[in-house]
Structure 1
Amino acid sequence: MSLGDWSCPIPKVDLPTITMSHGAGGGLSAKLFDEVFSKHYPSKELLDRNDSAVIDWDSRYRLAISTDAFVVEPRKFPGGDIGSLSVYGTINDLAVQGAEPIALTIAWVLEEGFPLSELHELASSVGKAAADCSVRVLAGDTKVVQRGRGHGCYITTTGLGRVPKGLELGSSRICLGDCILLSGPIGEHGMAIMSQRSGL
């Protein structure tokens, strides 16, 4: 086999269609943001590229809002499931802006034939995680797609939080010499999902 038989597995950045890498949070995600989304709704808060947007609210607080979609496979993994992940992931996006979580909304996209027993389990996980974060789920939506077109279950959550006036956090404030605080081993969540997916 010659070197000419090898090809780079990284997708070309000028492809006219969406690839899995566009949703992975790396360079292609940034390119998608720059070339599509920022052109069609260029609000200042969105262009700040933080995990959540913060806007003026009242004399004491500013309002933080974040939306996240969860399509993890498998749905259950060591340490949690797609239900608890949808809560903790969105709460985390608020926390990095210094926001105290207030409320969540949740949308479920279910595939026809999805077991009600598993839906009960996932909904219970959402409820327990929300209670753990002292936040209430105030609204939601459910849609069902045809069998074979929904991969079982997808969840989208939107979180609201309040940030005390005068507290300014965000990626733009990161400086050389800052300390990084970790809540656990780097990569633990990703490796747990990958090992479960691979049957390890």
Structure 2
Amino acid sequence: MNGRITLAHGDGGEQAHRLIQDVFIAAFGDSSAPMMDAAIQPVSGAKLAVTTDSFVVQPIFFPGGNIGKLAVAGTVNDLIVSGAEPLYLTCGFILEEGFSLKELQVIVKSMAEEAAKSNVRIVAGDTKVVERGACDGIFINTTGIGVIREERQLHPTAITEGDSVIVTGTIGDHGVSIIAARNELGLRTDVLSDCASLTAMLSDALISTSTIRIMRDPTRGGLATSLVEIAEDFGVTVELDEEEIPVRPDVQGACELLGFEPIYLANEGKAVIIVSQSEEMQLLETLRRHPEGANAAVIGRVTNTTKGQLLLRTVFGSSRRLHRLSGVLLPRIC
């Protein structure tokens, strides 16, 4: 494999997908297995979910959160959307010489607070310090471990025609908040990042409904990329209704100004869920009982189970196929 790493390899889109398939999975894994937010491993009769993530967001403090809150919420959410009950986290810190101890204390405190919200314990960690200029202040790696109970198992192979696609709230909030916080493009907005752990809301969802097929955490690459992966991995056609996708007016305005599409912007406190049509209303009621799910909406349907593709029915009545994010949209978003 020739070439060099570019920023696009870290955006969660097509080049990131190819990097994972052609380099990492080729060396470590099974290329035929669907890519999930956490690995599910049988251990002594139980099923463990394991996930790991690294956080390099810039800036490290942003409206609605900071790198520490993001690290815990992001890892916990990868576990919960896999159907797991999050139990333990480890965290590794790479600190740049000269980094503020006061800021580090704020970050670590926010990690402890976010972990407590999900009843998760941080049980191990590591710290490395590198020379000034060798990293951008602070990078954090987290690993999450959870257990999947029998009644919480998801069944993505049961996705069937007519199933409902639900998103738990407005999309693109995190992406726009980071753009504004960087002060690079002259964007002024009061949009806060949606950075939040979804354990309570999605645990209730798993208890209240029995036909959730799959859940995803649409972070890098956004809603569209997550649904493209589901469609291709399980050979189904998903059709979204653009008018039904919840987007805040200020997020939509920012996207129009900057030439972005909200469906490709990162989210850090949302989930996309496929559930049977018979239980969509029950699921919506459950989600809307939580602040993080107040704007939950049905945004599309599974229209067949023979062709893996994502379609968007536009506000003008036409339909177009959506693909993974291609190229660099916004690096270092998480």
Q: What corresponds to 1:143 in structure 2?
A: 128
Q: What corresponds to 1:155 in structure 2?
A: 140
User: Matched residue pairs, number?
Assistant: 185
Deviation at 1:51, TM superposition (A): 0.7
Deviation at 1:47, TM superposition (A): 3.9
Instruction: Verify the 8 A CA contact 2:49 2:79 in the aligned structure 1.
Output: yes
Give the Cα–Cα distance (whole angstroms) in 1 for the partners of residues 104 and 26 of structure 2: 38
Alpha carbons of structure 1 residues 97 and 126: separation in structure 2 relative to 1, 3 Å: same
Note if 1:114 corresponds to 2:99: yes
- Pairwise CA RMSD: 2.1
Note if 1:179 corresponds to 2:142: no
Structure 1, residues 18-76: CA drift from partner, whole Å, max 9, x if none? 011101110001110111001111258x94311100111243x3100000110000111
Give the Cα–Cα distance (whole angstroms) in 2 for the partners of residues 176 and 54 of structure 1: 26
Q: What corresponds to 2:42 in structure 1?
A: 56
Instruction: Verify the 8 A CA contact 1:70 1:86 in the aligned structure 2.
Output: yes
Runs of 5+ unmatched residues, structure 1? 1-13
Note if 1:89 corresponds to 2:74: yes
Note if 1:169 corresponds to 2:136: no
Instruction: Verify the 8 A CA contact 1:97 1:170 in the aligned structure 2.
Output: no
Alpha carbons of structure 1 residues 18 and 99: separation in structure 2 relative to 1, 3 Å: same
Note if 1:17 corresponds to 2:4: yes
Residue of 33, 38, 41 corresponding to 2:20: 33
Name the aligned partner's letter for residue 96 of structure 2: E
Instruction: Verify the 8 A CA contact 1:22 1:29 in the aligned structure 2.
Output: yes
SS in 2 for 1:177: coil
Structure 1, residues 92-115: CA drift from partner, whole Å, max 9, x if none? 101111001000000011100000
Alpha carbons of structure 1 residues 172 and 145: separation in structure 2 relative to 1, 3 Å: farther
Of 128-137 and 182-191, more deviation after overlay is shown by 182-191
Name the aligned partner's letter for residue 19 of structure 1: T
Note if 1:73 corresponds to 2:58: yes
SS in 1 for 2:82: coil
Alpha carbons of structure 1 residues 56 and 127: separation in structure 2 relative to 1, 3 Å: same
Q: TM-score, normalised to structure 2's length?
A: 0.52
Name the aligned partner's letter for residue 40 of structure 1: A
